[in-house]
Amino acid sequence: MDPREKLMLAANGHGSSLAALSRMIGRNPTYLQQYITKGSPKKLEEEDRRKLAQYLGIDEADLGGPQDKSYAPNRKGDWIDVPRLEVDASAGPGAIPAEEKAFDAFRFSRKWLSEQGLDGAQLSAIRVVGDSMEPLLREGDEVLVDRREQPFRDGVHVVRLDDSLLVKRVANQGAGRFSLLSQNLAYPPIQVNAEEFDVIGRVVWKSGRV
């Protein structure tokens, strides 16, 4: 992937605008926008690249820097443990959340997470129960939830409705109205106002048996 694409992906994943990142490295607000869309400058200065990589939590090589030849997949610090919580998100009638206590962890490559524009410190894994999201999500699957505060986009989210946690496809209907949609068409949509539910996080990955 081109360094410009990687920078755009990392910025979106971090929730930072190109203008804000430009100011962060001491440049004018349009600097990174021009770098990405117009190819000017052709490559980032070493100091700019270092600051951006450190701030976004990615490798300098992703932004066009030299590849670290000493890289080894099992080197300390190359992996991030994402907690598996003792929490179920219902794909059915609604689960009463248990205590949000980690009992185990999934281990992900730090590099892979950065390539996906994800921040390991803002991720957690919870189990799906029920069948309303089949075939996308099945009971027993575990989903990775991105809990960062960021502008809402339609997609699969874990939400809190009353005292229950649900995993649903959430669609913005406008005027402060949202639809909580199931993949399994046997389950009707749930219509809610913005103040009636909370978005816990966006589902960005799933695990499950084949």
Q: What is the pLDDT of residue 77?
A: 62
Question: Residue 43: which region, alpha, beta or left (left: phi > 0; alpha: psi -120 to 50)?
Answer: beta
Q: What is the pLDDT of residue 100?
A: 64
Angle at 6 between CA 44 and CA 200, to 5 degrees: 130
Please tell me the CATH code under which domain 3-63 is placed.
1.10.260.40
Q: What tokens were used for 12?
A: 């979106």
Q: What is the pLDDT of residue 28?
A: 94
Q: What tokens were used for 145?
A: 């939830």
Q: Give, for all 210 residues of the chain, the pLDDT tens digit.
A: 788 988 988 888 778 899 999 998 999 999 999 999 999 999 999 999 988 988 887 888 889 887 654 444 444 468 889 999 887 776 655 444 445 678 889 999 988 998 898 988 899 999 999 999 999 999 999 999 999 988 899 999 999 998 889 999 999 999 999 999 999 999 999 999 999 999 999 999 999 877
State whether CATH 1.20.140.10 applies to domain 79-207. Answer: no
State yes or no: cis peptide before 135, omega within 30 of 0.
Answer: yes
- The residue ranges of every structural domain in the chain are 3-63, 79-207
Q: What is the pLDDT of residue 50?
A: 87
- Assess contact for 138 and 127: CB atoms under 8 A: no
DSSP state of 179: E
Per DSSP, the residues of 86-145 read: EEEEESSS-B------EEEEEEEEHHHHHHTT--GGGEEEEEEESSTTTTTS-TT-EEEE
